[in-house]
Amino acid sequence: MKCDHCDKPAVVHETVIKNGEKKEIHLCQAHAASVGYLPDLQPLDKILANFSPTAKKAAASPACATCGMTLAQFRQHGNLGCEACYSTFEKMLEPLIERAHAGGTRHVGRSPRRSAERIDLRELRMKLVRELDEAVAAEQYERAARLRDRLHGLGEGGAASAAEPASE
């Protein structure tokens, strides 16, 4: 198709329908620029970079205020720059840490074999306290009394109470 004003090939094609009447406009680059149809032309690779998902992520990725590291740099190197990076990238790192630690989100650490019984007893106490709080909140006072008694039995070193199931 040729320009409406000259014999050059048209680069802008516009169809305007006004009051049911159709009007087509075909303009070459020079005439389109003079009318204001063509903005300042950019190379195609720069235009396409705006649509790239990696370019969008890099632009939206925050940087650490302390060391200046970005999430893209972390992904490239696998190391964070400083301790402040953990709080800066916390939401983005949580899924990664969960996958790496089989769903664990808090540090459990290692303990000596002899202390395994004390750790189990402490975890049982914590579980019973949570259940006691839930029972009181649900106004299940008989259940809360049984849980309280079990907690007192654990405090006295009652191993027999520890063997009972936690949920009643």
**Closest by Cα among 129, 124, 126, 167 to 148:** 129
Residues with Cβ within 8 Å of residue 127, at least 6 apart in sequence: 166
pTM, two decimals, is: 0.31
The tens place of each residue's pLDDT in the chain, 168 residues long, gives 899 889 999 888 888 888 889 989 888 888 888 877 765 556 666 666 666 665 555 555 678 888 888 888 888 888 888 888 888 888 888 887 777 777 766 666 666 666 666 777 888 888 999 999 999 999 999 999 999 999 888 865 544 444 445 444
Q: Parse the chain into domains and list their residue ranges.
A: 48-100, 113-162
Distance, in Å, from the CA atom of 12 to the CA atom of 27, rounded to the nearest integer, reads: 5
Tokens encoding 44:
């195609």
